[in-house]
Amino acid sequence: MISLMNDLKLITPKLFSDERGYFLESYSFSKWDLPCTFVQDNQSYSKKNVIRGMHFQTGQAKLVRCIKGTIFDVVVDMRQDSKTFGQWKGFTLSEDNHNQLFVPDGFAHGFGVLSADALVLYKVSTEYDPTLESGFRFDDDRVGIQWGIDNPIVSQRDQKASTFEEACFCGL
């Protein structure tokens, strides 16, 4: 496990492989010592060039992994008292590298699909609550995420999302 940007963690599970295939522990509560428990599993399927994000829900942490295909997974620190406030980091998560990203409460999250399609699974520490959910535009100039996707496919919701400044109520 590699700690990044305060509580953000990149996790590479131990892989046991042979001629039959492989086995890995996809989640280990006692070994990974993450600062939350998870109450729900979510799954999304997306096609190439789809960008989903940037989303966050107050009080919610996530553990994200890509079990089919390859995604560019992005987080942005939304914690105004943090030294890394407003900064983004991106990670390649794929069926080949088996990496998982622990996204703590206070970070916005999104991903772009780099392969023909992708299946993403993530655990969350709280159930969905529309009154606590927010987000900002995936292409907000203030944040400047470099997605590496030329013709993104984005939902109407994400196209109409607020700016980073509006989402964090920070009046930058």
DSSP state of 165: H
- Cα distances (angstroms) measured from residue 110 to each of 5, 22, 105: 16, 28, 14
**28: its two tokens:** 């280990």
SS3 39: coil
Cis peptide before 78 (omega within 30 of 0): no
Does residue 128 have an active-site annotation? no
Angle at 92 between CA 90 and CA 98, to 5 degrees: 135
Does residue 98 have an active-site annotation? no
- State the catalytic residue, choosing from 22, 45, 109, 122: 122
Q: Which class for 108: exposed (0-12), middle (13-18), buried (19 or more C-beta within 10 A)?
A: buried
- State the catalytic residue, choosing from 55, 98, 109, 128: 55
Return the active site residues.
Answer: 55, 122
